[in-house]
Amino acid sequence: MGKDARKQAEQKTNVMRLLEQAKIPYRHHSYADTGAVSGIEVAAVLGQDESKVFKTLVTVGKSGDHYVFVVPVNKELNLRKAAKAVNEKSIEMIKSKELLPLTGYIHGGCSPIGMKKRFATVVDESAAGQDTILVNAGKIGYQIEIKPDDLKKIIPFFYADISE
Protein backbone atom coordinates (compact mmCIF):
# COMPACT_ATOMS: atom_id res chain seq x y z
CA MET A 1 0.00 0.00 0.00
CA GLY A 2 1.43 3.36 -1.02
CA LYS A 3 1.87 6.26 1.36
CA ASP A 4 -1.19 8.13 -0.01
CA ALA A 5 -3.42 5.05 0.23
CA ARG A 6 -2.28 4.47 3.83
CA LYS A 7 -2.94 8.11 4.75
CA GLN A 8 -6.44 7.89 3.27
CA ALA A 9 -7.17 4.61 5.08
CA GLU A 10 -6.08 6.18 8.39
CA GLN A 11 -8.07 9.39 7.91
CA LYS A 12 -10.90 9.72 10.41
CA THR A 13 -13.93 11.92 10.03
CA ASN A 14 -15.69 13.72 12.90
CA VAL A 15 -18.48 11.14 12.60
CA MET A 16 -15.98 8.32 13.28
CA ARG A 17 -14.52 10.22 16.23
CA LEU A 18 -18.02 10.77 17.70
CA LEU A 19 -18.82 7.07 17.36
CA GLU A 20 -15.52 6.08 18.99
CA GLN A 21 -16.05 8.54 21.87
CA ALA A 22 -19.49 6.99 22.44
CA LYS A 23 -17.96 3.48 22.14
CA ILE A 24 -20.36 2.61 19.33
CA PRO A 25 -19.03 -0.04 16.92
CA TYR A 26 -18.95 0.75 13.22
CA ARG A 27 -17.11 -0.33 10.10
CA HIS A 28 -15.45 2.23 7.84
CA HIS A 29 -15.73 2.08 4.05
CA SER A 30 -13.90 4.37 1.64
CA TYR A 31 -14.74 5.04 -1.98
CA ALA A 32 -12.57 8.15 -2.42
CA ASP A 33 -10.83 8.38 -5.79
CA THR A 34 -13.30 5.96 -7.42
CA GLY A 35 -15.32 8.60 -9.25
CA ALA A 36 -18.52 7.36 -7.59
CA VAL A 37 -20.96 10.24 -7.22
CA SER A 38 -24.47 8.92 -6.78
CA GLY A 39 -25.51 6.67 -3.93
CA ILE A 40 -26.17 3.85 -6.37
CA GLU A 41 -22.61 4.19 -7.74
CA VAL A 42 -21.27 4.22 -4.16
CA ALA A 43 -23.17 1.00 -3.36
CA ALA A 44 -21.74 -0.65 -6.50
CA VAL A 45 -18.15 0.44 -5.77
CA LEU A 46 -18.44 -0.83 -2.18
CA GLY A 47 -20.05 -4.09 -3.30
CA GLN A 48 -23.11 -3.38 -1.17
CA ASP A 49 -26.80 -3.97 -1.81
CA GLU A 50 -28.42 -0.63 -2.72
CA SER A 51 -31.10 -1.22 -0.09
CA LYS A 52 -28.39 -1.13 2.66
CA VAL A 53 -26.80 2.17 1.61
CA PHE A 54 -28.69 5.24 2.82
CA LYS A 55 -28.58 8.92 1.87
CA THR A 56 -29.20 11.78 4.28
CA LEU A 57 -31.62 14.46 3.12
CA VAL A 58 -32.30 17.75 4.87
CA THR A 59 -35.66 19.47 4.48
CA VAL A 60 -37.61 22.44 5.76
CA GLY A 61 -41.26 22.29 6.74
CA LYS A 62 -43.98 24.86 6.19
CA SER A 63 -43.46 25.78 9.88
CA GLY A 64 -39.82 26.69 9.17
CA ASP A 65 -38.51 23.73 11.20
CA HIS A 66 -35.82 21.55 9.64
CA TYR A 67 -35.95 17.76 9.40
CA VAL A 68 -33.49 15.04 8.44
CA PHE A 69 -34.65 12.02 6.45
CA VAL A 70 -32.49 8.95 5.86
CA VAL A 71 -33.59 6.83 2.88
CA PRO A 72 -32.08 4.04 0.76
CA VAL A 73 -30.07 5.32 -2.21
CA ASN A 74 -32.24 3.32 -4.62
CA LYS A 75 -35.39 5.15 -3.49
CA GLU A 76 -36.63 8.72 -3.37
CA LEU A 77 -38.01 10.65 -0.43
CA ASN A 78 -41.79 10.92 -0.74
CA LEU A 79 -42.36 14.51 0.42
CA ARG A 80 -46.03 13.88 1.21
CA LYS A 81 -45.25 10.84 3.41
CA ALA A 82 -42.32 12.66 5.01
CA ALA A 83 -44.46 15.71 5.88
CA LYS A 84 -47.08 13.44 7.42
CA ALA A 85 -44.41 11.63 9.48
CA VAL A 86 -43.30 14.90 11.10
CA ASN A 87 -46.78 16.48 11.32
CA GLU A 88 -46.10 19.22 8.78
CA LYS A 89 -48.51 20.49 6.12
CA SER A 90 -45.68 20.24 3.60
CA ILE A 91 -41.90 19.97 3.41
CA GLU A 92 -39.34 20.72 0.74
CA MET A 93 -35.67 20.00 0.25
CA ILE A 94 -33.39 22.79 1.44
CA LYS A 95 -31.27 24.54 -1.17
CA SER A 96 -27.78 23.12 -1.60
CA LYS A 97 -26.15 26.42 -0.54
CA GLU A 98 -28.03 26.26 2.81
CA LEU A 99 -26.69 22.80 3.70
CA LEU A 100 -23.19 23.74 4.94
CA PRO A 101 -24.19 26.67 7.20
CA LEU A 102 -27.12 24.67 8.61
CA THR A 103 -25.51 21.26 9.15
CA GLY A 104 -21.74 21.71 8.81
CA TYR A 105 -21.75 19.26 5.89
CA ILE A 106 -21.46 19.72 2.14
CA HIS A 107 -23.68 18.09 -0.48
CA GLY A 108 -22.50 14.50 -0.97
CA GLY A 109 -20.88 14.42 2.48
CA CYS A 110 -23.91 14.85 4.71
CA SER A 111 -24.25 12.45 7.64
CA PRO A 112 -27.16 12.18 10.05
CA ILE A 113 -24.49 12.05 12.81
CA GLY A 114 -22.68 15.14 14.06
CA MET A 115 -24.68 17.96 12.52
CA LYS A 116 -24.16 21.46 14.00
CA LYS A 117 -27.62 21.26 15.53
CA ARG A 118 -29.86 18.31 16.36
CA PHE A 119 -32.86 18.05 14.03
CA ALA A 120 -35.83 15.71 14.17
CA THR A 121 -34.63 12.67 12.22
CA VAL A 122 -36.68 10.01 10.46
CA VAL A 123 -35.17 6.83 9.01
CA ASP A 124 -37.00 4.86 6.33
CA GLU A 125 -38.69 1.84 7.87
CA SER A 126 -36.74 -0.49 5.56
CA ALA A 127 -33.66 0.07 7.75
CA ALA A 128 -35.37 -1.63 10.68
CA GLY A 129 -35.08 -4.98 8.90
CA GLN A 130 -31.37 -4.65 8.11
CA ASP A 131 -28.54 -6.09 10.22
CA THR A 132 -26.43 -3.05 9.29
CA ILE A 133 -26.85 0.02 7.12
CA LEU A 134 -24.32 2.38 5.56
CA VAL A 135 -24.56 6.14 5.95
CA ASN A 136 -22.19 8.91 5.00
CA ALA A 137 -19.32 9.41 7.43
CA GLY A 138 -19.42 13.19 7.06
CA LYS A 139 -17.06 13.52 4.12
CA ILE A 140 -17.31 12.66 0.44
CA GLY A 141 -15.65 9.30 -0.13
CA TYR A 142 -16.37 7.86 3.31
CA GLN A 143 -19.21 5.71 4.65
CA ILE A 144 -19.77 4.00 7.96
CA GLU A 145 -21.58 0.71 8.38
CA ILE A 146 -23.57 0.55 11.60
CA LYS A 147 -26.38 -1.43 13.18
CA PRO A 148 -29.61 0.62 13.19
CA ASP A 149 -29.92 0.07 16.97
CA ASP A 150 -26.40 1.46 17.43
CA LEU A 151 -27.23 4.48 15.24
CA LYS A 152 -30.15 5.17 17.59
CA LYS A 153 -27.67 5.39 20.48
CA ILE A 154 -25.96 8.43 18.93
CA ILE A 155 -28.89 10.21 17.26
CA PRO A 156 -32.53 9.99 18.26
CA PHE A 157 -34.74 9.00 15.34
CA PHE A 158 -37.89 7.09 14.53
CA TYR A 159 -38.82 4.83 11.64
CA ALA A 160 -41.53 5.71 9.13
CA ASP A 161 -42.63 4.82 5.61
CA ILE A 162 -41.08 7.84 3.83
CA SER A 163 -39.71 6.54 0.54
CA GLU A 164 -41.00 5.48 -2.84
pLDDT tens track of the chain, all 164 residues?
344 444 445 589 999 999 999 999 999 999 988 877 889 999 999 999 999 999 999 999 999 999 999 999 999 999 999 999 999 999 999 999 999 999 999 999 999 999 999 999 999 999 999 999 999 999 999 999 999 999 999 999 999 999 99
Domains of the chain from N-terminus onward = 3-160 (3.90.960.10)
Collect all residues with Cβ–Cβ distance below 8 Å to 17 and sequence separation of at least 6. Answer: none
Kind plus residue range of the DSSP H or E element containing 29: strand 27-30
Tell me the whole-structure pTM to 2 decimals: 0.92
